Structure 1
Amino acid sequence: MGVTGIGGLFFRAKDPKALGAWYLEHLGVGGPCGMWETQAGTTVFQPFKADTDYFPADRQWMLNLRVDDRDAIKACLEAAGIEVKTDPEWDQPGVGKFARIHDPEGNPIELWEPDAGE
């Protein structure tokens, strides 16, 4: 008996329909009723200190999405006019490569390509 995974992420939006469409179009997240099938893999559940600079101070959370090819998704997002930030200092051997974007309402999203074996 116990928790077997994250069952959902629920958050407020100024325009839920438009924001849901953006996530589906650009990240493939969501679908009918907001559901999509995910692949098994590592999920990190980590509270941060209130004064962290890991994500914007005016946000209570940051969504981290596992991706299978950070560079390919980065190219697609940039082609759609979405700013994608990368920094070699964020990448960690044994952990993976990272990129960061924001959705249209300013919510931070981290894209994580785990190293092989994660």
Structure 2
Amino acid sequence: MAVTGMGGLFFRAEDPEALTQWYRDHFGLGGGDSWWHQAAGPTVFAPFKQDSDYFSADKAFMINFRVDDLAGMIEKLEGAGIEVIRKDEWDMDGSYGHFARAHDPEGNAIELWEPPAELPES
């Protein structure tokens, strides 16, 4: 018996309908039935220390989306008026890929991750 993958992400929102529409418009997620059949690939599951400064201290989680074209996704989001942040230190020399960050309308951090062709051994 084993866990075979992430089954869902559930979180509270001030306006669930508007937030669902925002994720649908900008990331293609949350259709009428909320199902999303994602591409096979790596998924990171990692609790962070309570005092981590990697994402906002007033949030309990950060969403990380794996993308196949980070530059294209950044261009799309910025074209829609969404601020996207890049920091060289997030890329950690590029061996784990490249990262950027945006926030949804309720302030939840969304990390965009373009993994390298091959990830380093764990």
TM-score category (smaller protein): over 0.9
> Could you list the runs of 5+ residues in structure 1 that have no partner in the other structure?
none
Displacement of 1:33 in angstroms is 2.0
Displacement of 1:117 in angstroms is 2.6
Give the whole-Å Cα distance in 2 for the aligned partners of 1:29 and 1:116.
Answer: 24
Mapped pair 1:54 → 2:54: yes
Deviations 1:8-42 (A, max 9, x none): 00000111111001001101122122111100100
Give the whole-Å Cα distance in 1 for the aligned partners of 2:36 and 2:25.
Answer: 13
Give the whole-Å Cα distance in 2 for the aligned partners of 1:28 and 1:68.
Answer: 14
Residues 33-112 of structure 1 aligned to structure 2 (within 5 Å): 33-92=33-92, 93-112=94-113
Q: Percent identity?
A: 58
**Once superposed, what is the RMSD of the aligned Cα atoms?**
0.9
The 3-state SS of whatever aligns with 1:34 is coil
Report the counterpart of residue 32 of structure 2 in structure 1. Answer: 32
Give the whole-Å Cα distance in 1 for the aligned partners of 2:67 and 2:88.
Answer: 17
Normalising to structure 2: TM-score of the pair?
Answer: 0.93
Give the whole-Å Cα distance in 2 for the aligned partners of 1:32 and 1:8.
Answer: 16
* 4+ long deviations beyond 4 Å: none
Amino acid at match of 1:109: I
Give the whole-Å Cα distance in 2 for the aligned partners of 1:117 and 1:20.
Answer: 33
> Could you list the runs of 5+ residues in structure 2 that have no partner in the other structure?
none
Give the whole-Å Cα distance in 1 for the aligned partners of 2:114 and 2:32.
Answer: 26
Normalising to structure 1: TM-score of the pair?
Answer: 0.96
